[in-house]
Amino acid sequence: MEEFKQLEIYLFPIVMLLAIGMNNWKREERTQGDRIFGFLPFLIICMMGSDVTYHALQLYVHRFTVLYAGYLVYCFFLTAVPYAWLLYVNGKLSVRHNRRWTAAVCHVMTGTAIAVVLLTVIIPWRLSTEGWGVHAVSYSLNHGSLPAKLVSIAMYLMGLILTATAYPKEVTKEGQKETRYLLEAGVFSLVGGMVQSFAESWRTGGPFVALAVLFIYLNAQNRQITTDGLTGLNNRREFDAHLQRKIELCPEHEWGLLMIDVDDFKRINDELGHAVGDEALWHTADILRGVFGKDPVFLARYGGDEFAVLGDWFGQEQIEEAIARIQEGIDRFNKEGQLPLQLSMSIGYAFWHEAGRRGENLIQQADERMYEEKQKKKRMRA
């Protein structure tokens, strides 16, 4: 039977979304986008469930009030899911982009969605109360949701536009990667909504947006494996993997490594508390992100208060320029006074060929130079 065929189509996406939703339910979310993503799977489940229920009612129930109630629920979730998706996209982008017009777009889409839902509510009700024939009322229930479908497509499209305009303005590789994921997931949602709007029997709306959620979820899980939770940089595991790839792919080319250590970090923790110490580490990572921006470098938290930067530097002049840029970033940060201390870092470097083309020698040489710099600062203060 038709309703069971629909249920078969939706069964796997519903189970998958339940697993994602339950896994995210108890997580401590930090941004508006993360909070919306927490309940988005349940909204999609409700949309698919209301779709199956409404079409089952059309087959077996002929009372207008029951059909009308099912129709209202279906139209509500039909617009609620793309609206939540638009809010999610805006929430993720607003973390790195302070653009007032994106919030204004969301407010306009809110009003549009409400107006369209009201329109889809009023049409069948007016037909029934004005004594129109049964066929007219049935037609309005079957096709009155078209405005809701069109505004759903518009919201998916608006999410794509917001993401596409944000992508060129991303200043870090991490930001570019996350925005690209949003773009790719947004295409899934838009295509699914468009196909079901014009070929309703295909039932692509729910499954395609479920695929978009799965895509975002898997990338977030992968990011947790390779990313340091405090600073957002690559973690030690990813650094080791990247270094090995670099060695295998560029054995003959020259390149270099910077090892960076926060000065007096133990004293910061002991005297100002671990919360200030965590802030110092986060701001150190942010300084490095701001300094190197879109440069082809690899940033990582090596461990504790130590950071690593891999880049294609092939001479003393280039590596000294990179170190000078870091120091300028530190000076700018200290002038802003965001921490109750003056942030200071010791930096060491090493070159691939100078280290005998051995990864362990490369790290050791950079670490030794960093330690020499740290000792030099201590002697100067004494």
Residue 299 confidence (pLDDT):
94
Residue 377 confidence (pLDDT):
84
Q: Of 16, 66, 368, which is closest to residue 218 (Cα–Cα)? A: 16
**203 φ, ψ to 5°?**
55, 50
Report whether 309 contacts 296 (CB < 8 A): no
Report whether 312 contacts 296 (CB < 8 A): yes
- In sequence order, the 6+-apart residues with CB closer than 8 A to the CB of 213 are 17, 20, 37, 40, 41, 44, 185
Q: How far apart are alpha carbons 309 and 344 in whole angstroms?
A: 17
Q: Of 102, 104, 105, 80, which is closest to residue 93 (Cα–Cα)? A: 102
Residue 80 confidence (pLDDT):
87
Tens of each residue's pLDDT in the chain, 382 residues: 555 667 778 889 999 999 998 887 766 555 667 788 888 999 999 999 988 888 788 777 777 677 778 877 888 888 889 988 988 888 888 766 555 555 556 666 666 666 666 656 555 544 444 444 444 445 445 555 677 788 888 889 888 988 888 888 776 677 788 888 889 999 989 999 888 877 777 788 889 999 999 999 988 888 888 889 888 899 999 999 999 999 988 888 889 999 999 998 988 988 889 899 999 999 999 999 889 877 889 999 999 999 999 999 888 899 999 999 999 999 999 998 888 888 999 999 999 998 888 899 999 999 999 999 988 888 877 6
DSSP state of 168: G
Residue 187 confidence (pLDDT):
93
Q: How far apart are alpha carbons 112 and 127 in whole angstroms?
A: 23
Q: How far apart are alpha carbons 130 and 120 in whole angstroms?
A: 16
CATH 1.20.1070.10 given to domain 2-226:
yes
Q: What b-and-e string marks burial along 79-118, b requiring 16 or more CB atoms within 10 Å of the CB?
A: bbbbbbbbbbbbbbbbeebeeeebeebbeebeebbeebbe
Q: 350 in helix, strand or coil? A: strand
Every domain of the chain and the residues it spans:
2-226, 236-381
236-381 maps to which CATH number?
3.30.70.270
Q: Of 324, 265, 56, 65, which is closest to residue 332 (Cα–Cα)? A: 324
Residue with tokens 């957002």: 232
Alpha helices, DSSP H, located in 26-145: 32-60, 64-94, 100-129, 134-143
Q: Of 53, 75, 70, 72, which is closest to residue 7 (Cα–Cα)? A: 53
Q: How far apart are alpha carbons 232 and 51 in whole angstroms?
A: 40
